[in-house]
Amino acid sequence: MKRCTRGSVLLLTLLVASAWASEPLPDPLTLDDAIALADDSLPAVELARAQRDADAATLAEVESLNGVRLSAIGRLRAVRPSYLSPNRDNNDSSAQLLLRKRLYDFGYSDAREQAARLAGEGGEWRYLGARQQTRLDIMQRFFDVILADLQYAHDNEAMALAFIDADRARDRHELKRLSDVDLLAIEATYQESLRARMQSQAAQRATRSHLAIAMGRPGDLAPNVVRPSAPDTEVALPEYEALVEEIIAGNPELKALRAEVEASRSALEAARNGHGPVLSAEMEASVYNRMTNSTHPLGAGLVLEVPLLTGGAKDAAIAAAGATMRQRSAQLAAAEHAMRQRVLELRLRLDDIKLFLAGLQVRSDYRELYLDRSRALYELEVKTDLGDAMTEITAVMLDTARAEFDWIMTKAELDALAGRLMPEEQTQ
């Protein structure tokens, strides 16, 4: 009865977990929902998490060097006793329990432990970097969906207008008021607009697939998404010097590289102290099949091991550790230089986007007035460019969305470079 009850509870738990895992995305989907509902086991995050766990395991292994070790040793031996030995038995087998602890190794284990701890610290920063990059990817894919929808609206409107033009051209052609060449030119324009509409419609599906994959939920496509509020582009922007100083100090990748430089320096110190003297304490309890005057059931002592020849192993280890330290230092310097350039480019991009949005506002005002005039002339049958004016309005809306999303992504990337895109990670 108890087994049935436990089995029922387990089955119910699995069904609830399965239902939760297959829960559809909210409709419409907001950016916050997309970030919150993303799978925590995305490949990039899992790779960083696995490396972090591997670093923790390496640290535990190094810490075990100074731990207490207990060994059971069994020996099956046959001997020919000395003529002076009173015990003539040939069976010299024995069993032994050996307790051993390293007491001092002249800085070797301390240096290795410091190197492993610093490497683990670098893994933590790279884990944060992977989480931040995942969020940036989701944001970009989310914005791509909105842009694809706006592009489709623009192309669909342009196609509808081209169809009307082509339909009117056919009527005029039948009335012999339009030549064959002009009709084919209008038909070709319609076919191009139709092809553009089909491509933008396909992009709607493709961008939703990209978003689902970025969220770790492939195949779970969002039918509708909510456009975020327009960013405040009038906010005061930090100066480049202050911004680059903050990012150089707080960037997760640079922090990871600095930790690796220090880890390699400790590894070099460990290599210099490796193959050196080791002082250990030992206690042993033994049982012998053949007891003699020299055998003893219990023993304790200090053991000092001093390598005299290493066959060049120590020099090779020092050379390898020194080369690794120089390599890590060069990587850090190159990363800092690249980071300064990247921050400059992003900071300049914000200024450019702000000017571009201001120009779009003027363009939008102009297009609105142009649309009003075209509508009035259309009603008076003076001009027939009403459709072109409406298409231009959707084009301005599309350009505005691109610029706003570019602003949001640029700001988010700067936050990520400074290590503050995910403030909740700093408190964990």
Q: C-alpha distances in angstroms, 343 versus 53, 78, 154, 325?
A: 31, 76, 34, 27
Q: Note if the pTM is more than 0.85.
A: no
User: Does residue 152 share a domain with residue 134?
Assistant: yes
Cα 169 to Cα 165: distance, rounded to the nearest angstrom: 6
* 5 found inside a domain: no
Residue 425: its pLDDT value, please? 54
Retrieve residue 419's tokens.
């290590």
- Inside any domain, residue 11: no
Last residue of a domain, one of 264, 293, 309: 309
- pLDDT in single tens digits along all 428 residues of the chain: 444 444 443 344 434 334 434 578 899 999 999 999 998 889 999 999 999 999 999 999 998 988 999 999 999 988 888 777 777 788 888 899 999 999 999 999 999 999 999 999 999 999 999 999 999 999 999 999 999 999 999 899 888 888 888 888 998 889 889 898 988 999 999 999 999 999 999 999 999 999 999 999 998 999 999 999 999 988 888 999 999 999 999 999 999 999 999 999 999 999 999 888 999 999 999 998 888 777 889 999 999 999 988 889 999 999 999 999 999 999 999 999 999 999 999 999 999 999 888 887 765 554 554 444 444 444 444 444 444 555 677 778 888 999 999 999 999 999 999 999 986 554 34
**What is the pLDDT at residue 11?**
42
Classify residue 422 by its DSSP letter: -
Query: Residue holding tokens 């640079």?
Result: 254
Is 3 a member of any domain? no
Q: What is the dihedral of CA 236, 241, 243, 244, to 10 degrees?
A: 160
Nearest to 259 by CA among 332, 339, 337: 332
Instruction: Give the containing element (helix H, strand E) for 37.
Output: none
Q: Tell me if 415 is assigned to some domain.
A: yes
Calpha distance 95→199 (Å, rounded): 80
Are 271 and 225 members of one domain? yes
CATH number of the domain residue 415 falls in: 1.20.1600.10
Cα 75 → chain centroid: 53
- Of 64, 200, 146, give the one whose Cα is nearest residue 401: 146
Based on the domain organization, do 370 and 288 belong to the same domain?
no
Percent helix, strand, coil in the chain, to 5, is 65, 10, 25
Residue-number span of the structural domain to which 121 is assigned: 25-66+105-275+310-421
DSSP string computed for 257-325: HHHHHHHHHHHHHHHHHTT--EEEEEEEEEEESS--TT--SEEEEEEEE-----TTHHHHHHHHHHHHH
Residues 286 and 415 in one domain: no
CA distance 134 to 126: 12
- Residue 58 included in any domain: yes
84 and 123 fall within a common domain: no
Condensed to tens digits (0 to 9), the pLDDT of residues 293-330 reads 778 899 999 999 999 888 899 999 999 999 999 999 99
Looking at the domain assignment, is residue 8 inside a domain?
no
Q: Dump pLDDT digits (tens) for 122-172.
A: 999 999 999 999 999 999 999 999 999 999 998 998 888 888 888 889 988
As a dihedral over the C-alpha atoms of residue 47, residue 51, residue 52, residue 55, rounded to 10 degrees, the angle is 170
Instruction: Give the span between the Cα atoms of 184 and 181, in whole angstroms.
Output: 5
How many structural domains comprise the chain? 2
pLDDT of the residue at 358: 85
Same domain as 224, residue 90: no
Q: Does one domain contain both 78 and 59?
A: no
Predicted local confidence at residue 41, as pLDDT: 86
